[in-house]
């Protein structure tokens, strides 16, 4: 026995016969689908069951026994309905499970969104707080920057004031030395009599002085212990001072051995110059170095003023402080070099 639909063999126990054409079919080759569903049909429905082909033919004919066909149709419809119901029940359960899973996922997403919103609100609040702090900090920085600029200006002004005060004090100190000279080149001996030495110098220079012409005299302190200290002489008046300075210019080879027999072994040349304050003495040293560097022919002091002259026909330049040397040097590094030399020698 074979299936009229697929032509494959079919067991009589598993075959579904057509009541009209007597052909047999696999349950799966019919609208019923399974043998179990076929067996659920009542006896009358199984007896009157028709295959698809016969059912299509009968649908074109007028009905004779309507009640009988209705019963058969109802039975078949019931079988079809059971078949559809059994197919849809698993689908409905699966859909319900899917909906439950989707609902759980939506709840999770909702919870996540709530947490995200909280985090976003927290970050937004922190950003606003940071922005406010940044605005405050910016304002503070701007205020401090303004204060700093004002302090710089004030500091620059005060530096200028201090510089002017130092210059004024130095000039006042130098004015005290207007009648004073300092003598370099006289050997220093124990228990020396400076007044006696000065008297001898005056006689040799044809510029005689007595004790009454001298207010005070002393050795100027020095950190160089291996050299004889300079002698400071404060005359009673400026005329005597000028007389000595002019006299030494006429005796350029005047040395210590010319002063006294006790200095016979001392061939050091004697220099007599204006007595300078420590600041002016430092400035005079730097001016001489500058003059040597730039071939200035003359560098000297007059009444405590430091003067430079390029040559006989050039104008005289007064050096009041280091800034004057810096200007003449054109802002180059000579001044720093000289300051470093002075610092190293101290």
DSSP secondary structure code for residue 186 in this structure = P
pLDDT the model gives residue 68: 44
Q: Can you give the pLDDT at residue 11?
A: 85
Residues of the chain with pLDDT under 70: 58-91, 331-332, 342-346
Instruction: Give the CA distances from residue 74 to residues 66, 70, 89, 114, 277, in Å, rounded to whole numbers and listed in that order.
Output: 12, 6, 22, 56, 139
What pLDDT shows up at residue 87?
Answer: 52
Question: What number of other Cβ atoms are within 10 A of residue 177's Cβ?
Answer: 19
What pLDDT, in 10s, does the model give residues 278-295?
A: 999 999 999 999 999 999
Measure the CA–CA gap between 93 and 136, rounded to whole angstroms.
64
Per-position b or e across 99-125, b if 16+ CB within 10 A of its CB: eeeeeeeeeeeeeeeeeeeeeeeeeee
Q: Angle 133-139-143 (CA atoms, 0-180°, nearest 5)?
A: 145
pLDDT, one tens digit per residue, over 180-198 is 999 999 998 889 999 999 9
How far apart CA 205 and CA 291 sit, in angstroms, is 29
d(CA 39, CA 79): 10
CATH topology of domain 178-275: Alpha-Beta Plaits (3.30.70)
pLDDT of residue 268: 85
Q: What are residue 217's DSSP bridge partners?
A: 233
């Amino acid at each position: 026995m074979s299936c009229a639909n697929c032509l494959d063999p079919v067991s009589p126990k598993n075959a579904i016969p057509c009541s009209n054409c007597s052909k047999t079919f696999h349950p799966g080759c019919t609208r019923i689908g399974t043998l179990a569903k076929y067996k659920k049909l009542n006896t009358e429905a199984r007896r009157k069951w028709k295959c698809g082909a016969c059912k299509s033919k009968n649908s074109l004919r007028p009905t004779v026994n309507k009640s009988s066909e209705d019963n058969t149709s109802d039975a078949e419809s019931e079988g079809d309905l059971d078949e559809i119901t059994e197919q849809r029940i698993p689908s409905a359960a699966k859909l319900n499970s899917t909906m439950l899973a989707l609902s759980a996922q939506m709840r999770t997403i909702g919870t996540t969104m709530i947490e995200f919103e909280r985090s976003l609100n927290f970050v937004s609040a922190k950003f606003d707080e940071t922005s406010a702090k940044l605005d405050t900090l910016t304002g503070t920085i701007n205020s401090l920057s303004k204060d700093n600029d004002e302090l710089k200006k004030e500091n620059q002004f005060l530096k200028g004031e201090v510089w002017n005060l130092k210059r004024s004090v130095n000039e006042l100190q130098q004015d005290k030395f207007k009648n004073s000279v300092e003598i370099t080149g006289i050997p220093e001996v124990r228990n020396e009599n400076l007044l006696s030495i000065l008297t001898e110098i005056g006689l040799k220079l044809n510029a005689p002085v007595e004790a009454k012409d001298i207010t005070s005299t002393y050795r100027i302190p020095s950190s160089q212990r291996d050299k004889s200290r300079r002698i400071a002489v404060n005359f009673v008046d400026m005329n005597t001072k000028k007389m000595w300075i002019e006299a030494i210019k006429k005796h350029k080879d005047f040395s210590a051995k010319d002063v006294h027999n006790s200095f016979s072994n001392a061939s050091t040349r004697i220099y007599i110059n204006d007595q300078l304050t420590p600041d002016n003495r430092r400035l005079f040293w730097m001016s001489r170095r500058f003059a040597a560097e730039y071939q200035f022919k003359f560098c000297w002091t007059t009444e405590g003023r430091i003067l430079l002259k390029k040559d006989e026909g050039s104008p005289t330049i007064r050096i009041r402080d280091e800034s004057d040397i810096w200007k003449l040097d054109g802002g180059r590094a000579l001044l720093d070099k000289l300051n470093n030399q002075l610092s190293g020698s101290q």
